[in-house]
Chains A and B, each alone.
Chain A
């Protein structure tokens, strides 16, 4: 294999990729040819195909919909497939997400993230008397209703954990369910079709819930789908005190 990592990084059309490895003794610096356009995912694929097939990272859809290729690029949690390497950038550093155990190289065990997510009962709980199933009529809810105005901007979460990783509280294991789970909780609490509000608010209001948030807005800044989990957290706090949806 061509070992070019020691060559001059400023030579035309190369990007130096530094990757945190979890296996001792494995190389962590690579030079790959620049292409246009070029994402961090493209750079990782080039490393894997041309230098080290054992480099471990995850991806699936490469269009920002599966949420599986999340890494830290120069310290910022982001989707590798959605992060462009600008033309004037000739080096990047890629680390695994913060706050989650590393499986290998850039692959983390997302278990703790999903455990937190599951703790808010993240699925719709229809009312006892609600008609449910293949012969049940969908609810009639106007698109400009108050509940939809609260919920719609908070949908499209892809569970990528970028917010979890960039939250100083969640990623430091300080007993916080984290922004994504609370955003999901808000979506369901605001939904008139759901009947588990009381139970969910109990989780949300408990010690590991909304009160852990210090409003640093790391989550909102990191969300690749442009969601605002901090707003959801504020809303849940209000819901707890005022009793509105």
Chain B
């Protein structure tokens, strides 16, 4: 395929810092880079609408930060590491808890957020599951709108270049192999773009949409992780995919999988199976519904699989014993969400199922967002390690904003040291050839059925509870899917073509899914979000798998090595006797 026949000669754009993604991590990065050095040229590359894509926007419950003198960052660290089943990179977890209160300060005083207050006028903090102190900062039950709305407004003050509806494709390098920038595709015009950048920050969010029942926004198709995978970066904890215990069941409607927030369980909601048993007593008699997400999601899944679920394949959450007025007052967003699907949280039980929610795994980074590649930073859900084997509710938006901010600081420093480089023509062409291929084929499947197949396969074989045989099956099926993706044909034109965009999303999802299935087959134990029915016990010593691409193409080989977790701040023995340990 010759350049020029299928795509136009790419426009070349120079910038100091290219930020891929416009959610909490991406926009905090822009804020910090331009606060540190207002003269920088910063470009936001966003597949969807800037500030209105991704999942920070969708945060309901809130943001964990230590603000109360009776709380402590040590306690927050203990909760985070205990929740993560000691798989966490403890230096990243430490950074998270240390910076979270400071980012709350910044969100309030500079960004303009206003979180709910106590009667004395200070920030109110509510209870969230798996935490020894009530430390979750919130704005009603729609916290993400306040954070992302205000952050988006900051962009009007700061004025970064916004490339909206522009999909990042691949990281590209110069003749010396140094990072030079990225290739991209303007979704509206269908034209390619090359961004030369001193620093690239990848902050696109995770890939949990690859499951049949899934919570995230549509953009979250593992684009950042897949891009880094193709560039050969090392990843960790890829098998660790969190299922939120309470996703709505709404039949075939797209609403299925949308989360009913964690705060419901914090406030005293009960979970019942179809026989009316409060089944959490069987799984965590001490903490019951306030146990961590991994335990509650697994319990629900096992009840459903044991035939104790509802006809629609769910269990029931009930908070109506608090009184309908109280439920409406505390959880207006959740009540509205259930009424919309012909149920009502305020007056009775609502059907829920575990729903794919958050990917703990991702690119290896240090506390400043740096990766193995000079000039490349990764922040938010695209990075791995902070949450270990399970993320606590309220630590997600904390991660995206804390590490987005740090990446912005690092990017401002790095932009001084790195010069603009010219990407290798062959690399640019290879990237664009891959992207435009579905448009060039006249015969082949549409992507929609293949996406459905991926979602079903991941749900059944790499889902809430896994075993060796199903993971082996998944590995083969994913290779077959990766092959079929190479044959997808979509009817033109290149402008605003969502079938084409879905084909590109799917290729990224399958890339990430292969690494997930491979890592899940390696981990022959049960830890946090990763449950193996054939290996139900947890090893004494936590280890993690570092994987990277060892071959080109969607079915290329995977190279991996096993590492021991470093107990730099906490050892398992430090938590002996703690509830839930």
Which residues from chain A sit less than 8 Å from chain B, CB to CB? 35-39, 41-42, 45, 48-49, 53-56, 58-68, 81-82, 84, 103-105, 107, 110, 117-118, 121-124, 126, 130-145, 148, 151, 155-159, 184, 188, 191, 193-194
Chain B residues whose C-beta falls within 8 Å of the C-beta of A140 in the assembled complex: 120-122
Chain B residues whose C-beta falls within 8 Å of the C-beta of A42 in the assembled complex: 252-254
Distance from A133 Cβ to chain B, minimum over Cβ atoms (Å): 6
Q: List 8 A-B contacts (CB under 8 A).
A: A56-B498, A60-B48, A60-B52, A84-B340, A124-B110, A133-B106, A138-B123, A148-B114
Chain B residues whose C-beta falls within 8 Å of the C-beta of A117 in the assembled complex: 156
Contact status A61-B57, CB under 8 Å:
yes
Contact status B496-A157, CB under 8 Å:
no
B144 at the interface (CB under 8 A from A): yes
Contacting residue for A124 out of B49, B57, B111, B142, CB 8 A: B111
Which stretch from B145-153, B357-365, B373-381 is at the chain A interface?
B145-153
State whether A68 and B109 are in contact (beta carbons under 8 Å apart), knowing that A37-B251, A135-B102, A142-B121 are contacts in the complex. no
**Complex interface bits, B143-171 against A, C-beta within 8 A gives 1, otherwise 0:** 01110011011101100000000000000
B543 at the interface (CB under 8 A from A): no
Distance from A60 Cβ to chain B, minimum over Cβ atoms (Å): 5
Contacting residue for B53 out of A66, A84, A184, CB 8 A: A66
Report, nearest first, the 6 A-B pairs whose CB atoms are least far apart.
A124-B112, A53-B499, A138-B108, A134-B102, A140-B121, A136-B109
Contact status B448-A53, CB under 8 Å:
yes
Contacting residue for A141 out of B106, B117, B152, B340, CB 8 A: B117
Chain A residues whose C-beta falls within 8 Å of the C-beta of B110 in the assembled complex: 124, 126, 132-133, 136
Q: Can you name the residue of chain B whose Cβ is closest to the Cβ of A87?
A: B342
Contact status A159-B48, CB under 8 Å:
no
Whole-angstrom CA separation of A19 from B145 in the bound complex: 30
Whole-angstrom CA separation of A95 from B210 in the bound complex: 31
Whole-angstrom CA separation of A143 from B544 in the bound complex: 46
Contacting residue for B253 out of A38, A65, A184, CB 8 A: A38
Interface centre among B119, B253, B493 (most CB of A within 10 A): B253
B490 at the interface (CB under 8 A from A): yes
Chain B residues whose C-beta falls within 8 Å of the C-beta of A66 in the assembled complex: 49, 52-53, 57-58, 217
**Complex interface bits, B438-461 against A, C-beta within 8 A gives 1, otherwise 0:** 000000001010000000000000
In B151-203, the 8 Å CB interface with A consists of: 152-154, 156-157, 188
Distance from B52 Cβ to chain A, minimum over Cβ atoms (Å): 5
Contacting residue for B119 out of A39, A68, A133, A142, CB 8 A: A142
Contact status A56-B218, CB under 8 Å:
no
Q: Can you name the residue of chain A whose Cβ is closest to the Cβ of B343?
A: A37
Chain B residues whose C-beta falls within 8 Å of the C-beta of A61 in the assembled complex: 57-58, 217-218
Chain B residues whose C-beta falls within 8 Å of the C-beta of A141 in the assembled complex: 114, 117, 121
Whole-angstrom CA separation of A58 from B164 in the bound complex: 13
Interface size on B, residues (CB 8 A): 68
Distance from B218 Cβ to chain A, minimum over Cβ atoms (Å): 6
Contact status A155-B139, CB under 8 Å:
yes
Contact status B112-A123, CB under 8 Å:
yes
Contact status A59-B108, CB under 8 Å:
no
Contacting residue for A103 out of B109, B251, B254, B496, CB 8 A: B496
Distance from B375 Cβ to chain A, minimum over Cβ atoms (Å): 25
Whole-angstrom CA separation of A3 from B250 in the bound complex: 28
Whole-angstrom CA separation of A191 from B114 in the bound complex: 10
Chain B residues whose C-beta falls within 8 Å of the C-beta of A58 in the assembled complex: 48-49
Contact status A56-B496, CB under 8 Å:
yes
B538 at the interface (CB under 8 A from A): no
Chain B residues whose C-beta falls within 8 Å of the C-beta of A38 in the assembled complex: 253
Whole-angstrom CA separation of A193 from B57 in the bound complex: 24
Contact status A36-B251, CB under 8 Å:
yes
Contact status B154-A123, CB under 8 Å:
yes
Contacting residue for A123 out of B139, B150, B497, CB 8 A: B150
Which residues from chain B sit less than 8 Å from chain A, CB to CB? 48-49, 52-54, 57-58, 99, 102-106, 108-112, 114-124, 139-140, 142, 144-146, 149-150, 152-154, 156-157, 188, 217-219, 250-255, 258, 336-337, 340-342, 446, 448, 490-491, 493, 495-499
Known: A49-B448, A61-B218. 5 other contacts (CB 8 A): A65-B57, A66-B49, A123-B153, A123-B154, A134-B106
Chain A residues whose C-beta falls within 8 Å of the C-beta of B149 in the assembled complex: 157-159
Q: Can you name the residue of chain B whose Cβ is closest to the Cβ of A81?
A: B254
Contacting residue for B109 out of A59, A84, A132, A143, CB 8 A: A132
Contact status A45-B254, CB under 8 Å:
yes
Chain B residues whose C-beta falls within 8 Å of the C-beta of A184 in the assembled complex: 153
Whole-angstrom CA separation of A82 from B104 in the bound complex: 31
Contact status B146-A82, CB under 8 Å:
no
Interface centre among B99, B121, B251 (most CB of A within 10 A): B121
Distance from A130 Cβ to chain B, minimum over Cβ atoms (Å): 7
Q: Can you name the residue of chain B whose Cβ is closest to the Cβ of A82?
A: B340
State whether A41 and B254 are in contact (beta carbons under 8 Å apart), knowing that A66-B52, A138-B123 are contacts in the complex. yes
Distance from B76 Cβ to chain A, minimum over Cβ atoms (Å): 17
Whole-angstrom CA separation of A23 from B46 in the bound complex: 25
Distance from A100 Cβ to chain B, minimum over Cβ atoms (Å): 13
Chain A residues whose C-beta falls within 8 Å of the C-beta of B124 in the assembled complex: 143
Contact status A133-B109, CB under 8 Å:
yes
Whole-angstrom CA separation of A159 from B108 in the bound complex: 20
Chain B residues whose C-beta falls within 8 Å of the C-beta of A188 in the assembled complex: 112
Chain B residues whose C-beta falls within 8 Å of the C-beta of A49 in the assembled complex: 448
Contact status B109-A60, CB under 8 Å:
no
State whether A122 and B218 are in contact (beta carbons under 8 Å apart), knowing that A136-B105, A156-B140 are contacts in the complex. no
State whether A60 and B156 are in contact (beta carbons under 8 Å apart), knowing that A35-B252, A84-B340, A133-B106 are contacts in the complex. no
Q: Can you name the residue of chain B whose Cβ is closest to the Cβ of A139?
A: B108
State whether A118 and B156 are in contact (beta carbons under 8 Å apart), knowing that A49-B448, A56-B496, A132-B109 are contacts in the complex. yes
Q: Can you name the residue of chain B whose Cβ is closest to the Cβ of A41?
A: B254
Chain A residues whose C-beta falls within 8 Å of the C-beta of B121 in the assembled complex: 139-143, 145
Chain B residues whose C-beta falls within 8 Å of the C-beta of A48 in the assembled complex: 498-499
Q: Can you name the residue of chain B whose Cβ is closest to the Cβ of A160?
A: B52
Whole-angstrom CA separation of A193 from B109 in the bound complex: 8
Whole-angstrom CA separation of A213 from B112 in the bound complex: 27
Chain B residues whose C-beta falls within 8 Å of the C-beta of A118 in the assembled complex: 156
Whole-angstrom CA separation of A155 from B144 in the bound complex: 12
Whole-angstrom CA separation of A49 from B498 in the bound complex: 10
Chain A residues whose C-beta falls within 8 Å of the C-beta of B150 in the assembled complex: 123-124
Q: Can you name the residue of chain A whose Cβ is closest to the Cβ of B158?
A: A123
Whole-angstrom CA separation of A53 from B496 in the bound complex: 10
Whole-angstrom CA separation of A84 from B491 in the bound complex: 31
Chain A residues whose C-beta falls within 8 Å of the C-beta of B122 in the assembled complex: 138, 140
State whether A142 and B254 are in contact (beta carbons under 8 Å apart), knowing that A66-B52, A66-B53, A124-B111 are contacts in the complex. no
Chain A residues whose C-beta falls within 8 Å of the C-beta of B153 in the assembled complex: 122-123, 184
Contacting residue for B157 out of A59, A123, A135, CB 8 A: A123
Whole-angstrom CA separation of A136 from B109 in the bound complex: 7
Whole-angstrom CA separation of A104 from B122 in the bound complex: 47
Contacting residue for B340 out of A37, A45, A132, A139, CB 8 A: A37
Contact status A62-B255, CB under 8 Å:
yes
Contact status A104-B496, CB under 8 Å:
yes
Whole-angstrom CA separation of A85 from B211 in the bound complex: 26
Contacting residue for A63 out of B119, B146, B337, B493, CB 8 A: B337
Distance from A160 Cβ to chain B, minimum over Cβ atoms (Å): 9
Chain A residues whose C-beta falls within 8 Å of the C-beta of B496 in the assembled complex: 56, 103-105, 107
Contact status B109-A138, CB under 8 Å:
yes
Distance from A33 Cβ to chain B, minimum over Cβ atoms (Å): 9
State whether A60 and B106 are in contact (beta carbons under 8 Å apart), knowing that A41-B254, A53-B499, A142-B120 are contacts in the complex. no
